[in-house]
Structure 1
Amino acid sequence: MITVENISKSFASTGAPVVALRDVSLAVGAGSLYGVVGSASAGKSTLARCVALQERPDRGVVRYDGLNTTALEGRRLRDARRQLAVVDSRLQPERTVAGNVAAPLERTGVEGPQRRNKVGSLLDLVGLSKRAAQLPAELTEGQRRRVAIARALAVQPSVLLADDPTHGVEPDDAGSVLTVLDRARAELGATVLLTTQDAGTARRICDEVALLERGVVVESGNVLGLLGKPGSKIADELLPSVETSRSEMGRYDRTVDTVLIGFAAVGALLPEAAGRFDVELATIGGGLTRFGDTPVARFRLGVRGQRADAALAWIAEHGASVSHPLYGLHNVAA
């Protein structure tokens, strides 16, 4: 388990110091896939370097399984770093795909037959077995990222750190990169910590997520658990947008926003409530998406009927989040 406790980090500049992190705390469970979401200037890369033990925070502590790594020096620091690997997208251009993956094994003295077997299994994991003899220049950017992940996994780390692994990668290729990170967690048992500017990345593969803004964690927690939380910034980033015209909303007795999680809720909860309470529940905005294998819907509902309040209360009692929309620019079209 990785525990980040109130770390702060600043860098000298010609004027006042630039503060990259302010009292950041995270708890990354063993075997989880944790995403840190934020803009390019949010402090994600600085956080990743601190967790990777490449930067020392000015204040605070980074712990691995309870061990305070902040004060480690020399051999003890090197031993701690062996638990983790950082995905470095810079490949050796003169070496083949297989040669790049083999490089860390060569440095640690793994013998030929064992090294070849290991490289083969890693290339199979990242879906590039047929590209083993090619050079990096012959690959797409997404394929090169997958090679970099395979190389990082060669040392069998317990923790894998990926800083913006899909940045600059075409959407189709980006999906393959994320699949590989998920397989590293599922099949190799690695704890994966990734940073990303794209909230969609967190939606596709992350168990837990933190939103970083100007060096501060403004929200964190289990992804599915945050979706129905009123006022959640992460939920607003991850869920389908909802826009409805005032005239459309005016056709109903009331309008509400609801978040439905899981196959049963998405498929049956609203029709059952409509029939049980003899009300009309019309979807007038929002949409459906997936978080991993779990379907999630955010709908704006137009409601008609004398037992509307009872129907909405019943929906909420059965696990849906129900809230009244705010009449702002993001919610109501002119």
Structure 2
Amino acid sequence: MITVENLSKSFPGKSSPVLALREVNLEIGAGALYGVVGPARSGKSTLAKVVALQEKPDRGTVRLDGLNTAGLDGRRLREVRRQVAVLDAVPALHAERTVAGNIAAPLERLGVDGPQRRNRVGRVLDIVGLTQRANQQPGELTEAQRRRVAVARALATGPAVLLADDPTAGIAAEEATSVLTVLDRARAELGVTVLLTTPDSTVVRRVCDQVAVLDAGRVVEHGTVLDLLAAPGSRTADALLPAIDTPRAQTAAYDRAADVVLIGFAAVGALLPEAATRFDVELATIGGGLTRVGDTPVARFRVGVRGRQADSALAWIAERGAYVTHLAEGPQSIAA
């Protein structure tokens, strides 16, 4: 587990210090794939460097499995640092070495013997899906494949934590999925805790369990991704859920109108039709759409309802676990 307590970090500026992190508090469970999202200069990379013990905070504490890292130095600091691998946004590979040779490099520095080194390299090559590329050189690979080599190199020493700083930077969208899949597989098969920073909210939608949103060095919201999708005013929801753009005239044509967030196969597939049948109302989808968060289907629809029991139908949908917000045209505003 990674615990960040009241963390602040500044850097010298031209006229005054630049505050990169402001009283950051996070708790990241062991084996999680945790996303930190924010725009450029929001503090994401600084947070990653502080957690990796590459930078010291001005104030606050980073605990790794309960160990307070603030007072570590010398040999003990080096030992703890080995438990935290860092994947840089633009990782450098040795052009003259093969893929396997690049992955073996940190093991060679640690003095790991030949048979054990080959075994570890083979294991992580399998995890990143590059076993067939072991004897090629980085220049023969795509950018996404080179990024996966860097992931394998970071995993080779058996860290407990992997910090991936913007791991899909500079990679085409169609190839980025392969890098994210590798990080998810590392978490699942090796039990590595992955802390991923990114400016791209769609990365969170694909692989992260939990997320923190940074803005100007502050955590403005955090929690599980699915919980935040239902939170009123959530930035995560605004970024990840399908947009709704329905003309007012279309909404006004119904007795009631509401925005409905549905999470999970059963809710997305059956809840709205069942409500229409149960309450004998006409229920139409007039905006929004479907997406996925990891393997979970999620929908945000604007629905229009006609019929005597329109309010009852919407209340019933909310009682069954959907998140319903009545629009101004409705009689009251509720969220459940």
Superposition TM-score, scaled by structure 2 size? 0.95
Residue 125 of structure 2 is matched in structure 1 by 123
User: Which consecutive unaligned segments of at least 5 residues does structure 2 have?
Assistant: 330-336
Residue 135 of structure 1 is matched in structure 2 by 137
Map 1:270-281 to 2 at 5 A: 270-281=272-283
Residue 159 of structure 1 is matched in structure 2 by 161
Name which of 283, 286, 293 aligns with 1:284: 286
Q: Is the 8 A contact 2:9 2:19 kept in 1?
A: yes
Residue 332 of structure 1 is matched in structure 2 by none
Distance 2:7 2:18 in 1: 15
Residue 58 of structure 1 is matched in structure 2 by 58
Q: Deviations over 1:203-237 (max 9, x none)?
A: 11101000001101000001111111111111111
Is 1:13 the counterpart of 2:13 in the alignment?
Answer: yes
User: Which consecutive unaligned segments of at least 5 residues does structure 1 have?
Assistant: 328-334
Residue 107 of structure 1 is matched in structure 2 by 109
Residue 47 of structure 2 is matched in structure 1 by 47
1:99 is displaced (CA, Å) by 0.6
Residue 149 of structure 1 is matched in structure 2 by 151
1:326 is displaced (CA, Å) by 7.3
Q: Is the 8 A contact 2:256 2:311 kept in 1?
A: no
Higher mean C-alpha displacement, 87-96 vs 18-27: 87-96
Residue 33 of structure 1 is matched in structure 2 by 33
1:324 is displaced (CA, Å) by 2.8
Q: Deviations over 1:10-38 (max 9, x none)?
A: 11011111111100111000011000000
Map 1:135-284 to 2 at 5 A: 135-284=137-286
Tell me the number of residue pairs that the alignment of Structure 1 and Structure 2 aligns.
Answer: 327
Q: Deviations over 1:123-164 (max 9, x none)?
A: 111011111111111111111110000000001011111000
- Which aligned runs of 4 or more in structure 1 are off by greater than 3 angstroms? none
Distance 1:264 1:102 in 2: 47
Letter in 1 for 2:49: R
Q: Give the secondary structure class of the aligned counterpart of 2:6.
A: strand
Residue 86 of structure 1 is matched in structure 2 by 86
Distance 1:261 1:29 in 2: 23
Letter in 2 for 1:25: N
Q: Give the secondary structure class of the aligned counterpart of 2:222.
A: strand
1:113 is displaced (CA, Å) by 2.1
Distance 2:182 2:41 in 1: 26
Q: Deviations over 1:23-71 (max 9, x none)?
A: 0111000011000000111110000000000001101100011111022
